[in-house]
Amino acid sequence: MVEFLKAQQVRLHDLFTRKLNPNLARICANLFLGILFGFIWFLLLYGRETLFPTHVNWIYVRGGDVLQHQLGWEWFRQEPWRFPLGRIEAYGFPFGTSVAFMDAIPLFAFPFKLLSPWLSANFQYLGLWEMTSVIGQMTVGIFLLQEFTRSNPLKIIGASLLVLSPPMIFRAFYHNSLTAHWILLAGIWFLILEHRHRLRWWAWPTLFAVTMLVHLYLLAMLLPIWAVSLFLYYRREKKALFVFLEIALVIGCMGLLGYAIGYFGLPADDLIQGSFGNYSWNLNGLINPFGNASIFVHELTLNSTNLGEGFSYLGLGFILILPVAIVLFLKKENLHGKMHLIISIGLISLFFCFFALSNKAYFNTQLLWDFPISGFPSKLLSAFRSSGRFIWPVFYFIAVFGVVSIVRNVPYPRAEYFLLFALFLQLADLQPLLTPRKITEPSQFQSQFESDFWQIAADANDHLVLIPTDEVPSHTGQHLALFARQNHLTFNWGYFARGPYRTIEKYANAIFDGLVAGKTDASTIYLFWEPEKKELARKQLSSSMLLCDVDGYLAAFAPDNPITRADIDLAPYCKAPTN
């Protein structure tokens, strides 16, 4: 493996240095290596099935958050362009939502919507996005390690270790937008460049703009890292005006993009969902492969609030690297001139750790502290209630430190062999985490709506109203959302990252009260799914509406609905109004 990489290094050097200047040649070589090996790693980790853009069934079968992201794209795609650009009106109708609140990755959603007329009716970019995340992780890792070594084999092996990041893999094909961990790596790389006086003025505004088009959690994680970068610049240059200008540029860029995407389309109360402290990080997280994510390391105990969001297992490869890296760092590194960087990173790492632990902190099942938060601070923190995710920057500080310390302080070629061994150990250790995420063959999807009745009903109507809208099982609601989207019906329910749920619930209740009072719409399917509500509808609406029992749902129609004139025998399903 090492010999092969050395051979490729020589070939790349010959290829890029004949006509290009050395700096441009290194940039091109790093990009080539990042894309090539990132693509190879994607195929090895996840397979190629998800890269076929017309293969959507695997998403429909998986459901949950990955289907939420796909539905966000599909609803957004069929909407006309309006402002804000990310606005979706037919989903969660009549209140609507934004492509950003569907976690549909605006960075991809906007350009693909422009291309929509030339795309297949069935189209997904989630596989392409996951590949982009892996390639981004590999490429940024290579550029970061370029600051410490010119050896392509070392850069490739070190960046490959960063690709085998358990927190990133854990999110793959689950919370797709949250796999863009290359954004955090880029922030760390920018710190290194700023420390070495080589960071361009446009770097941070560009990174924040891209991050705004991916996910707000990643943007929030970048802010403390950016603050350290500004501190390093001001400490060196003493130019307060430039610092203020950069802050104004970043804030202005985020504000304009946020408005264009539709982040400000929700009232503040709908952005706040409470439950801060219930999705936190456990203090054992770095060595705990909970969910049986490791072959070699046993799962440690957790309290019930730490499941999922605080997953930050290092992996056995990094667990091997870290003690060696610490010893070498303390023994060989000259800390002169680096203490301000080390202290700054240490302070923001403590901030990330405490925020990730939240106001309800645990070590294993032992409660460390629990204090109430109320008022404005509670509302502000609840906007980022999944606080456990904020351990990710600390994970990457640790991972980058480990790899860099080995690269700098272990003589050639032992550094290559040591990191290569750690890489294979990491890959072997994470097989239980990787196996369920690898999709190797096409999936078959069976819709809940098997009867021909549904297609007739959809063709005859413009709106689908679900009653009630509270506590709808995601599986039920998402299948209905898919049915409504495919038949170009508006739909009053929605599965959003943030949404006007209370308003939607009041609207559905008001619709039902109106039906009881005889206020019906001739172009609407009124659909009841919950047993008690179905029984109530039979009692109160049977005299005034056409009621149909189909595939476990109760559908109600106004007497003048076009379905009553459709070429279908309704007798097997429906009972006419008794009046």
Output the average pLDDT for the chain.
91
Instruction: Find all residues with CB under 8 Å of 91, minimum gap 6, and list them.
Output: 71, 75, 97, 481, 485, 490, 491, 494
pLDDT digits (tens, 9 = 90+) for 14-73: 554 555 577 888 899 999 999 999 999 999 999 999 999 999 999 999 989 999 999 999
Q: Rounded mean pLDDT of 326-352?
A: 90
295/433 Cα distance (integer angstroms): 9
Q: Rounded mean pLDDT of 480-501?
A: 93
Measuring CA to CA, how many Å separate 564 from each of 195, 515, 539, 561, 576?
Answer: 73, 18, 21, 6, 9
Name the pairing type of β-strands 360-363 and 366-370: antiparallel
Find the DSSP H helices in 333-452: 339-357, 375-382, 392-409, 414-429, 431-434
pLDDT digits (tens, 9 = 90+) for 453-469: 999 999 999 999 999 99
Residue 13: per-residue pLDDT: 59
Q: Sorting pLDDT into bands at 50, 70 and 90, what band is 413?
A: confident
pLDDT digits (tens, 9 = 90+) for 103-112: 999 999 999 9
Residue 320: per-residue pLDDT: 96
Lowest mean pLDDT among 2-6, 192-196, 262-266, 537-541: 2-6
H helices, E strands: number in the chain = 23, 10
Rg (CA), the chain: 27
42/132 Cα distance (integer angstroms): 9
17/14 Cα distance (integer angstroms): 6
Q: Sorting pLDDT into bands at 50, 70 and 90, what band is 159?
A: very high
